[in-house]
């Protein structure tokens, strides 16, 4: 084990608490990320640490994740990010990350608590909602965690991070087989805009010993329950896809003239648009314009929901039939 520095030895944290922290968050001890900041503090990121490389042209030799490295992470001598999956593509945690303070992570936390998931909130600071951790009592395949995490976000009614929602909630593991990482709790964020913030857990005094003792007392979620719930969500997703295919098959064979009372008008047929009717419009029953052979039709009225789409009209007519 590397020589313990004077600063890390002053922390007063025994090996048992270090071991519990590692058992909760460390998926791999051979690879991790070391946070760096440029000399002018304009840029920052993580230098990948792996046995096959010495980062920054050898100026920062590789070291594996050890209790001493974790102590230095706590002491602020290095800021570490931990791998989201292990060598078998499993993880002992699911993590949600929010870089804004729009309340989405609060809503997700509240929703998951209603479903009896035990959660740990960490890294909350001004302008940032932080991390929400779901810790498990054993490894869970990353494929299952991705299904479970995405379902949790969707059911809670919050936005996942995407091109449409760049400030949405990010889920880790990010991929089922590739490397992704999350900055380790209780470390100091070196980014200039973070102002030296430490990733404290909610629920305990802001000193390292109290935080680690609180962490040791927290219940873990069942890995088997997570797998079962992921399978349940996968099954529901498959049913939705089947129903969607059936719907599109119905569209392929759909004949609108079989579902509406149409009348000829100027070389085409006209009929009442069911969606316009639901909104209290189309009293003249001519918003739906239909080609004489029934192969093409459209809504021509710009109501409160603007012109209704063909698929929405078909869905309405099929539902009523």
In tens, the pLDDT along 182-217 reads 999 999 999 888 888 999 999 999 999 999 999 999
Domain check: are 167 and 315 in the same one? no
Domain check: are 99 and 26 in the same one? yes
In tens, the pLDDT along 104-149 reads 999 999 999 999 999 999 999 888 999 999 999 999 999 999 999 9
Domain check: are 184 and 217 in the same one? yes
Ramachandran sector of residue 203 (left: φ over 0; alpha: ψ -120 to 50; beta: rest) = left
Residue 239 banded pLDDT, cuts 50, 70, 90: low
Strands (E), the chain: 32-37, 44-49, 80-83, 90-98, 120-122, 130-141, 170-172, 181-183, 263-265, 268-271, 288-290, 297-299
Question: Cβ distance 190 to 46 under 8 Å?
Answer: no
Q: What is the pLDDT, as a whole number, of residue 252?
A: 57
More confident residue, 252 or 270: 270
Tokens representing residue 36 in the block: 């760096």
Q: What is the pLDDT, as a whole number, of residue 265?
A: 86
| pTM score above 0.75 | no
Structural domain contains residue 113: yes
Question: Cβ distance 73 to 184 under 8 Å?
Answer: yes
Question: Cβ distance 84 to 171 under 8 Å?
Answer: no
Domain check: are 156 and 70 in the same one? yes
Domain check: are 162 and 298 in the same one? no
Model confidence at 103: pLDDT above 90: yes
Last residue of a domain, one of 196, 231, 266: 231
User: Mean pLDDT across the stretch 247-262?
Assistant: 70
Which structural domain range is residue 302 located in? 256-320
DSSP 55: B
Domain check: are 227 and 260 in the same one? no
Q: What is the pLDDT, as a whole number, of residue 78?
A: 95
Model confidence at 267: pLDDT above 90: no
Model confidence at 180: pLDDT above 80: yes
Domain check: are 42 and 146 in the same one? yes
Q: What is the percent of the chain where pLDDT is above 70?
A: 87
Q: What is the pLDDT, as a whole number, of residue 286?
A: 87
Model confidence at 222: pLDDT above 50: yes
Domain check: are 204 and 279 in the same one? no
Model confidence at 244: pLDDT above 60: no
In tens, the pLDDT along 49-63 reads 998 876 666 666 889
Mean pLDDT of the chain: 87
Domain check: are 212 and 278 in the same one? no
Q: What is the pLDDT, as a whole number, of residue 58?
A: 66
Domain check: are 39 and 164 in the same one? yes
In tens, the pLDDT along 283-317 reads 888 888 888 777 778 888 766 556 778 778 887 77
Q: Which of 29, 60, 33 is nearest to 44 (CA)?
A: 33
Domain check: are 68 and 107 in the same one? yes
The sign of the CA dihedral 236, 241, 245, 250 is: positive
In tens, the pLDDT along 300-309 reads 876 655 677 8
Structural domain contains residue 241: no
The enclosing domain of 46 has a CATH number of: 3.90.920
Question: Angle at the Cα of 171 (from 168 to 176), degrees rounded to 5?
Answer: 140
Domain check: are 291 and 165 in the same one? no
Q: How many domains does the chain have?
A: 2
């Amino acid at each position: 084990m590397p020589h313990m520095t004077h600063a890390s030895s002053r922390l007063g944290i025994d090996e048992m608490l270090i071991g519990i922290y590692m058992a909760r968050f460390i998926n791999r001890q051979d690879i991790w990320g070391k946070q760096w900041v440029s000399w002018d503090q304009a840029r920052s990121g993580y230098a990948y640490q792996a046995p096959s490389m010495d980062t920054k042209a050898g100026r920062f030799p590789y070291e594996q994740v050890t209790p001493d490295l974790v102590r230095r992470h706590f002491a602020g001598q290095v800021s570490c990010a931990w791998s989201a999956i292990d060598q078998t593509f499993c993880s002992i945690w699911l993590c949600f990350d929010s870089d804004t303070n729009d309340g989405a992570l609060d809503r997700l936390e509240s929703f998951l608590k209603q479903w009896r998931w035990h959660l740990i909130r960490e890294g909350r600071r001004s302008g940032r909602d932080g991390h929400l951790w779901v810790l498990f009592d054993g490894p869970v395949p990353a494929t299952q965690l991705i299904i479970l995490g995405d379902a949790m976000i969707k059911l809670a009614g919050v936005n996942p991070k995407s091109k449409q929602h760049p400030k949405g909630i990010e889920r880790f593991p990010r991929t089922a087989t590739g490397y992704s990482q999350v900055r380790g709790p209780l470390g100091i964020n070196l980014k200039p805009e973070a102002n030296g913030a430490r990733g404290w857990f909610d629920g305990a005094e802001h000193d390292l010993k109290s935080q680690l003792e609180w962490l040791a007392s927290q219940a873990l979620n069942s890995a088997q329950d997570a797998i079962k719930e992921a399978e349940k969500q996968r099954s529901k997703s498959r049913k939705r896809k089947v129903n969607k295919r059936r719907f599109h098959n119905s569209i392929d064979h759909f004949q609108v003239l079989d579902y509406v009372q149409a009348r000829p008008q100027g070389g085409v047929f006209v009929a009442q648009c069911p969606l316009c009717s639901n909104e209290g419009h189309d009293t003249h029953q001519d918003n739906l314009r239909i080609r004489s052979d029934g192969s093409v039709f459209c809504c021509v009225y710009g109501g409160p929901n603007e012109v209704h789409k063909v698929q929405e009209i078909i869905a309405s007519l099929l539902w009523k039939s």
